[in-house]
Amino acid sequence: MATPETPENEAAGERIEGAVLRVVHHNPQTRYTVLRVVRPGEVAPQTWVGRSTGIEEGMQVTAAGEWTHHPNYGKQFNFARIAAKAPTTLPGIQRRLERYPGLGAEKAERIVQRFGLDTLAILDKSPRRLLEVEGIGPKTLERIVAHHTARGGPTAEIENQLLELDLPTHFADAISQRFGETALNVLRQHPYRLAREVRGIGFITADKIARALGVDLESDERIEAGLFHTLEQSEQNGHCALPMPILVQNAERLLELPPARIEPAAMALVRSGALVLDQRESDEGEPLPPLCYPPRFYDAERNVAEILTDIALGAGKGRGRWTAVDPPPGLSAGQLAAIAAIRDAGLVILTGGPGTGKSTVTRAIIDTALANESPVLLAAPTGRAAKRLAEATGQRATTIHRLLEIEGGTGEFFHNAQNPLPEGLVVIDEASMLDLPLAEALLLALTPQHRLLLVGDADQLPSVGPGNVLRDVLAAADRADSPIPVVRLTQIFRQAEGSSIVTSAHAILRGKVPESDRSEGGQFYVVQARDSERAHELVLKAITERIPKAYGLDPRTEVQVLCPMHKGKAGTEALNAALQAHHTAGAPELVLPGRPPRVFRVGDRVMQTKNDHERGVFNGDIGLVTAVDPERQILTVEVDGDPVPYDSKQLNALQLAYAVSIHKSQGSEFPAVVVPLLGEHHVMLRRNLLYTAVTRARRLCVLVADPRALTQAVHRSDAARRFTGLRERLLTALRERLGERRTVRHIDGA
């Protein structure tokens, strides 16, 4: 019986090399690239996917990344970094020549045999020597030279320059495409323009070129490039902008220059419009350090603020008051208030703690809309949260990306300002995970005739991308004079009254490290684990021994493991494999060959991770394996009572679901959860993450934690400190619009 091995070399990522056989796809805008690559000593090509610029057929490349599975295209290597080696190997040069017109494999080989590593230099400097090679006549020579100089020219010069500097040559094409004849000049005189104007070249590469060339390290261009780079870096921490002093301070460290050189450069960028400076003051009117934005985020905030204002103030005509329908029995006062609020408002924010029935009450809200002949559109930022919303409402719900219909090829949305979504009530659940660019895309696809219900809890997870949309909108809407209704639910339904899950969650929010509830049938536990090996064991032990014995829960279907990360001994991948080995040992199984082999057994709990419109299974669907056919390499999963067949290709989009990431669990609930928290998770450990994980549990929450990791998670609360300005933008938009109204009325009255 096969026990799946945990992948060992994947945790740190892998480094592999090969020769590019074919560029299957390349989008110059997004740099999204699909390659077929042949590894040294192998024959069958493999698929590599990632972002890159200037990769061409025949290049020797090295890449760092990891192996993944794609539902339609199978096993593939997802690279985070890729670099072309200069064609310094004979086969590399030969492959390059093979693509020249008039040269096939045979002649190319003969040329390379004759001139060896000097081949390219000879093509550059004395191409007539090619006539020395058997089979190459004047005609062929002419075509070769024409092609070589056409593709060469500036590109070849750039390549040579890069080679001289001992830098990778694969940027040469992109550089010469962008700057044409002047490329070499730009490279030598203004290397930092490359960082801004050539996709794929960042500050670090440009700085290497500049340093190698001995360019002035105090030039304005270098400082400006450093400022842009600093802002891009902070985007990864969720910021849309940086306060000027912090921007200068971070740039100082990057550039190793004094602030007195950096500040004026930043101000010059602001004057030219390359950066936007937002002068701020506190609510008390005290000046605050101004925020410095990349223009696209400033514009996005303004668009979001304007459109939210349009919808909130009902700029559209014909959006009357909805008539009430009888609500279902047993709703809390807050839930009833939420139903009432949407009847005559364009925009409503529905918030409140975990398990207060926010998602649940949307069902009654939707009934009100439908009774008033308004269509409804439901969506959430993650597939799993969308699925939960669909279950809670009995309506179709999708990811926001799918609602807007992301287009193949461009990655743009089908629905936008020119082609808005069909009118009706739009419900966005788990809105705390909505980032600024997606919020902008969503709102651009709405009209003032739409109604919008934003549902979420700002204490739960913030978006992965930049922005803090829900928190900012709430901060503006919560002001006494705000016209945006906020309904706040307080009565908790998920856990029993007085549950230590709730008191522990509240302790976490207040920055206190929670402790085990040692009372009879206690619902909250912290089990100490020194390291991830031990944690792995303790998680298994809790699930297979302690929890079934003490709480009478079915370990396979009622206990959910929630992990901060996928990788590592205490990540979803390793724990899923270990839990499977326990839960379905001995059941009929299907083993898919590969490294490591993938195993599915009858009885396994599984989750679909990609949208498959044709078969009607979507990212976030959870099911149970009901039958396997090892001979035909197929199996059946029951999803929502329907059998869904999977062939070996489609199984690439299926994962075990005994352990899932905390991000994907937001919105869901389980009788019991077990959460590993370890040093290896430190990059992820935040208060919101822990709070979200704990509050998924209805009856039992067990933290298997290294005490230091737990303390870190409780104390780190930087979601509250993302630098964004949507609150101010929204307040300004509302003030302007309300002011306008008053003015209009005043004129009317006069």
Partner DNA sequence: TACGGCAA
Footprint on residues 449-468 left by ligand ATP (CB under 6 A): 457
Would you count residue 424 as binding DNA (CB under 7 A)? Answer: no
Is 610 an interacting residue with respect to DNA (CB under 7 A)?
A: yes
Q: Kindly determine how many residues on this chain lie close enough to bind ligand ATP according to the rule CB under 6 A.
A: 18
Both tokens assigned to 471: 């928190």
Among positions 676-735, residues that touch ligand ATP (CB under 6 A) are: 695
What would the two tokens of residue 588 be?
Answer: 């009929």
- List the single partner that 585 binds among ligand ATP, DNA, none, CB under 5 to 8 Å by kind: none
**Considering only residues 190, 387, 494, 681, which one is a binding residue for ligand ATP as defined by CB under 6 A?**
494
Which tokens sit at 216? 């002035």
* Cα–Cα distance for residue pair 67/595, rounded to 1 Å: 9
Q: Which is it for strands 60-70 and 46-51: parallel, antiparallel or unpaired? A: unpaired
CB atoms within 10 A of CB 700: 27
Q: Residue 213 is encoded by which pair of tokens?
A: 């060339």
| Residue entry with tokens 């329907």 | 642
Least distance from ligand ATP to the Cβ atom of residue 712, Å: 23
Q: Give backbone dihedrals phi and psi of 91, rounded to 5 degrees, phi first.
A: -60, -35
Interstrand relation of 74-85 and 276-281 (parallel, antiparallel or unpaired): unpaired
Query: Which of 59, 158, 365, 438 touches DNA by CB under 7 A?
Result: 438
Say which entry of ligand ATP, DNA, none residue 620 contacts (CB below 5 to 8 A, set by partner kind).
DNA
Q: How far is CA 516 from CA 507, 542, 727, in A?
A: 12, 15, 39
359 interacts with ligand ATP by CB under 6 A = yes
Length of the chain (residues): 750
510-549 footprint of DNA as x/- string (CB under 7 A): ----------------------------------------
Nearest alpha-carbon partner for 709 in 563, 575, 573? 563
**Contact flag: residue 688 with DNA (CB under 7 A):** no
For position 551 contacting ligand ATP by CB under 6 A, the verdict is: no
Specify the residue, 266 or 501, whose C-beta has the smaller distance to ligand ATP.
Answer: 501
| Closest separation in Å from C-beta 715 to ligand ATP | 23
- Work out whether 355 is an interface residue with ligand ATP (CB under 6 A): yes
* Residue 399 touches DNA, criterion: CB under 7 A: yes
Tokens of 376: 């409804």
Q: What is the smallest separation between the CB atom of 366 and ligand ATP, expressed in angstroms?
A: 13
Query: What residues from 461 to 520 belong to the interface with DNA (CB under 7 A)?
Result: 463-465
State the Cα angle at 189 between 185 and 193, rounded to 5°.
Answer: 90
Residue nearest ligand ATP (C-beta atom): 357
When asked if residue 337 is in the footprint of ligand ATP (CB under 6 A), the reply is no
When the beta carbons of 413 and 524 are compared against DNA, the nearer one is 413
- Under rule CB under 7 A, residue 664 binds DNA: yes
Measured CA to CA, the distance from residue 643 to residue 716 in angstroms comes to 44
Among 69, 319, 343, 358, binds ligand ATP (CB under 6 A): 358
Residue partners of 517: CB distance under 8 A and separation at least 6: 500, 504, 523, 524, 525
Considering the complex, state which of residue 526 and residue 565 has its C-beta at the smaller distance from DNA: 565
Taking the least distance from each CB to DNA, the nearer of 237 and 490 is 237
- Contact call for residue 354 and ligand ATP (CB under 6 A): yes
Under DSSP, is residue 76 helix (H, G, I), strand (E, B) or coil? strand
**Which CB sits closer to DNA, 113 or 236?**
236
547-586: which residues touch DNA (CB under 7 A)? 564-567, 571
Q: Which does 359 bind (CB under 5 to 8 A by kind): DNA, ligand ATP, none?
A: ligand ATP
Report the distance separating Cα 131 and Cα 128, nearest Å.
Answer: 6
696 binds DNA (CB under 7 A): no
- Give which of ligand ATP, DNA, none residue 399 binds (C-beta under 5 to 8 Å, depending on kind): DNA
CB 452 within 8 Å of CB 422:
no
> Distances from the Cα of 591 to the Cαs of 385, 417, 482, 526, in angstroms?
30, 48, 59, 36
Residue (169 or 356) nearer to ligand ATP, CB: 356
138: tokens are 């004047």
- Could you list the beta-strand ranges (E) of 86-204: none
CB of 359 to ligand ATP, least distance (A): 3
Q: CA 94, 47, 616 angle in degrees (round to 5)?
A: 155
Binding residue (CB under 6 A) for ligand ATP from 287, 330, 422, 498? 330
Helix (H, G, I), strand (E, B) or coil at 667: coil
Q: In sequence order, which residues have a C-beta less than 8 Å from that of residue 48 and are 6 or more positions away?
A: 18, 34, 35, 36, 37, 63, 65, 76, 77, 78, 79, 82
Q: Residue 685 Cβ, how far from DNA at the closest point, in Å? A: 10
Q: Distance between CA 457 and CA 471 in Å, rounded? A: 8
- Does 28 interact with DNA (rule: CB under 7 A)? no
Q: Are 482 and 474 in contact (CB under 8 A)?
A: no
* Distance of alpha carbon 750 from alpha carbon 730, whole angstroms: 30
Under the rule (CB under 6 A), what is the footprint of ligand ATP? 330-332, 335, 354-360, 392, 457, 493-494, 667, 669, 695
Residues near DNA (CB under 7 A) are: 24-25, 30, 32, 34, 47, 49, 70, 72-73, 76, 233, 236-237, 381-384, 399, 401-402, 406-409, 411, 435, 438, 463-465, 564-567, 571, 609-611, 619-620, 661, 663-664, 683-684
